[in-house]
A and B are shown apart, each in its own frame.
Chain A
Amino acid sequence: MEIQEIEKRVKKVVSQVLNVPEDTIKQGSRFVEDLGAESIQSLELVAGFESEFDISMEEDAALNIKTVEKAIEFIKKYVDAK
């Protein structure tokens, strides 16, 4: 899967779970500071990415991701390994 496609789908999930417009989500956006995520929503974001890409991520590492850009990079590794 192309990185642009991953980015598009990551933004779709973030928009849905955090209830923010997709066009306000940038690569450098931080989930908590820029997109208003509560810390408890990180579990829902991880589950959202897993559902969208049909992958299972290493939870502790996934929960430590703070930005959209890092999420895209992290998910790409799992998508490529499929």
Chain B
Amino acid sequence: MNLIERFLEKAKSLDRRIVFPEGNDERIVEAAAFIEKEKIGHPILLGNKQKIHEHLLKLNLSPDNISIIEPKSSPYFHELTELYAARRKNVSMAIAERLLCRELIFGGMLISANKADCLVAGASNTTANVIQSAALTIGYQDDVSTASSFFIMVLPENKILFYADCAVNIDPDVKQLSEIGITTARSFKKLIGEEPKVAFLSFSTKGSANHPLVDKVTQAVQLAKSKDPTIDLDGEFQADTALVKQVAEKKLKESGSVAGIANILIFPDLNSGNIAYKLTQYLAKAEAYGPVLQGFRCPVSDLSRGAKVKDIVGVSAITSLQV
């Protein structure tokens, strides 16, 4: 059983309410119908009812067990609009009504009002739009100020590593980098169920080089440690020191509890993170799942625009496991 199959099985026992704001997209409709049929979760499709019914008929699927909501005509519309306007003091009811007509905002407010558990979008919306809508409606976790993302890398020997951030933050500052480390550790614990070992990566190992780029990483490690001392995190490390025990023992006087056995790699910027995940994928023949968004109060996922039905189902399972 591969990792996604394991996630799908686990999701079945949770029965999460997954809201899909892009119900007008045929791939989303097909994925939602599969999720309902296989009892992976309870999908809620947002969009034009007639269009969604047409998609279902075309796919020879029954609309009977699928929840479909048209935001504007939904019985929740007024309640959610009032809730939004009450939270955002500069937003009038008229503006809030316009916002709630947008499926991404309506979907986020369904979660905010505890009428859904998690949200999967991005098949036809930009990442920026998904993140901004989620930030406005669901909001960030208490000690988090920015959204970030991670990739689940499954190596051929079934070793699992999380890479972050390889998709969202181009040049995170010290605070953002520390948050990426903390939120990725939490995501790892929730999804994999093992203790996270977070290595903050650099071209330097514990002071072997002096440079402002190294300082950023060491400061992020200190900040992350002070924010959440319960997480096993350390750095700055070169990648080999983080991953290979013999190298860690050779390069460090005291290797500590992360060096050599890291299962989470935090990259200093998007250049290094994005390059590293693609190299791992193609040269090491690893499977890469993601990017999975993190940092919000409730899970939100950003699909690739080219996502296929099976990708949407897999991402939905990952998202529902993060609740």
Contact = CB atoms under 8 A, between A and B. Distances in A.
Interface of A: 16-19, 39-40, 42-44, 47-48, 50-51, 59-60, 63
Given A43-B105, A47-B95, A18 B129 contact: no
B98 A40 contact: no
A18 B98 contact: no
A19 B129 contact: no
A42 to B, nearest CB: 7
A58 B95 CA distance: 17
Contacts of B92: 16, 51
B97 A43 contact: no
A17 B95 contact: yes
29 contacts: A16-B92, A17-B90, A17-B95, A39-B128, A39-B132, A40-B136, A43-B99, A43-B102, A43-B105, A43-B133, A44-B88, A44-B90, A44-B91, A44-B95, A44-B136, A47-B95, A47-B98, A47-B99, A47-B102, A48-B91, A48-B95, A48-B98, A50-B98, A51-B92, A51-B94, A51-B97, A59-B102, A60-B126, A60-B129
Q: Is the interface of B mostly helix, strand, loop or mixed?
A: helix
B301 to A, nearest CB: 18
Contacts of B90: 16-19, 44
Q: Closest 7 CB pairs between A and B?
A: A47-B98, A47-B99, A51-B94, A40-B135, A40-B132, A51-B98, A48-B95
B171 to A, nearest CB: 15
Contact of B91 (A17, A50, A60): A17
